[in-house]
Structure 1
Amino acid sequence: MTPDELLTTIRSVRKRLDLTRPVPMELVRECLEIALQAPTGGNSQGWHWIVITDPDKRKAVGDYYGRATRAYLGSGSSAGDLFQDDPERAATQRRVSDSAAFLGEHMGDVPVLVIACIEAARLPEGNQAGLWGSLLPAAWSYMLAARARGLGTAWTSLHLVYESEIADLLGIPANVRQGVLMPTAYYTGETFRPARRQPLDEVLHVDSW
């Protein structure tokens, strides 16, 4: 697929993750090798990648994730609660919320869970863009590499409600912070296409707001 096809057809895969088909570690490593080519501030490369395949640990992470998801869905500010004054967009938001609920119930069943982390003894006060800007591009590169290899992923940070508990479970040091959880599995179907987005001219500002 061309770069444009890759970038416009990558979707958050939740309901269509194949929960029964194993994912070879070699394939995950290929995606992570590509992720390591992403930029970092000062070429610091302070990232770490936790790849979870052990069934018991996947279940434990999934249990925390499920609890966080249920709280999110009941918060009144979940995806499904947004844009209620726009019937067409509200329908899309309800589908997103429904798929989020599915993933919340099945996170522990996904064959591979990848948590992207970064060294940070403490979180910066104020603007944290410099810190997370040295991790999140690499996580996105991982997801793109996975898509190009027939794997589905989803970007989620709901697990961070239980960041310390998951750190204890996985032995993550205190000076390493988690940034994003990416469930990874083969996907079912081949109907990925560009999503409906706001028109560019509604969000574009040239030279001033």
Structure 2
Amino acid sequence: HAWVEPLSNMDVVMPLDKEIDQNIYDSDSFIASTYVSDIFINSAVGRISAYVWFLDENKFKQLEEITGSKLIEGRYPKDGKNEIVLHMDIAKNKGVVIGDMVGSEVDSNDSLTGKYEVVGLIDGDALYGMASLPYAKNKYKLADAQLGAILSKDENVKLSGKEGEDYKLYCKDNEEDDLESSGKMMEVTLIVLNFVIILITAFTLFFVLYIYYLQRKKEFGIL
């Protein structure tokens, strides 16, 4: 699934109740500070979201290399500006081109808070967007302690605290587990929906046959 692909070669840690262990930033696995949001897109199974990674301007190219993506049109967002780069499939799905605006201030149903000008398009297997971290820090009044960290995949990296309480870990395994759970939930929903349809169909058929019986009972010789 394309929206999981950005996490094939990296993990992302976001603080919840306390600041991330500072040793993470000194480790060889540390790539960049980040803030994570998402943007809604439509799919065959309904509305889903793709991640938007907020980064310093000098980190956009590095994230592209990690995810196997490439800027094919336009430019990267400038530090401190409400600008965004989108995967070309996200832009196509939302019907936007370079120069258009996206975000909740443009479409109240979108999950990306604010308003961002599309300044570039990327292509590749990984579906995501990139925006300015300095802008996010100012827009959302984020302290450094609220920022997360992008890490290269390394089993030796130890995170202090408890996942789900102290921090949230974005990784491919977690995303695929969530996807599998969502798939099972959808499967159950479809089974229930099919059962309801069968019941309605059976009731309708019975009702039609009963009406037909009442209208023709004399012809059947039943008085």
Query: Which has the larger share of strand?
Result: 2
TM-score (norm 1): 0.25
Higher relative contact order (CA 8 A, sep 6+): 1
TM-score with structure 2 length normalisation?
0.23
